Amino acid sequence: MLINGAGGSIGAHAVQIARAMGGHVTAVDHRSKEDFVRRIGAQDFHDYTAGDVTATGRRYDVIFDMVAGGPYRRLIGMLEPGGRYLNGNPRLSVLFRSKVLDRRTAIVTFAPETAEALATLTAMIERGEIRPIVDRVLPMSSAADAHRLVESEQRLGAIVISLDDIVIPLDD
């Protein structure tokens, strides 16, 4: 499985879930995140600043793409026959193309939250196979800084905004 954007908050969970399910994970992200994604389970790593991952010639059964505006056409060209491309951060154009123009991908749907899937995730969490990855916690008063950190891609995992500095008056 290839995970594009493996060092972000959703990508880091995808790495852990794929490994817990027995998958072999190739992570794609900035070289500064290599140690991090390997520690959480990625076996292979590709630094996107060192070259285009789509030029490696490798093929995958599953590609999970968390990069908005990523190289959709080139990524789906890396799929094994019958493989699946999953976009966790799709633009409208990707949704349209996958439904109308591209027969190599499934019609875009939203994953349902079934009791069985939630039970499986719960078991993985209880066994310690999946854990939250929090880069830092900032107060609500620093929400703009939190947003800048997320957009800078210089974080490992999630940025959490704490509501502890918010005072909500109670009506008597």
Full set of structural domains in the chain with CATH: 2-132 (3.40.50.720), 133-172 (no CATH)
Average pLDDT, the chain: 87
Backbone angles phi, psi at 15, to 5 degrees: -60, -50
Whole-angstrom Cα distance, residue 146 to residue 136? 9
Per-residue pLDDT, 33 = 95
Contact 24, 46 (CB under 8 A): no
Residue 171 carries which DSSP code?
P
Per-residue pLDDT, 78 = 95
Per-residue pLDDT, 100 = 53
Per-residue pLDDT, 42 = 98
Neighbours of 154 (CB within 10 A): 13
Per-residue pLDDT, 24 = 98
Per-residue pLDDT, 87 = 84
Neighbours of 90 (CB within 10 A): 18
Q: What is the mean pLDDT of residues 1-23?
A: 95
Per-residue pLDDT, 94 = 59
Residue 11 carries which DSSP code?
H
Q: What is the mean pLDDT of residues 64-72?
A: 84
Render pLDDT for 120-167 as a digit per residue (tens, 0 to 9): 999 999 999 999 999 999 999 999 999 999 888 788 888 999 998 777
Per-residue pLDDT, 50 = 95
pTM over 0.85: no
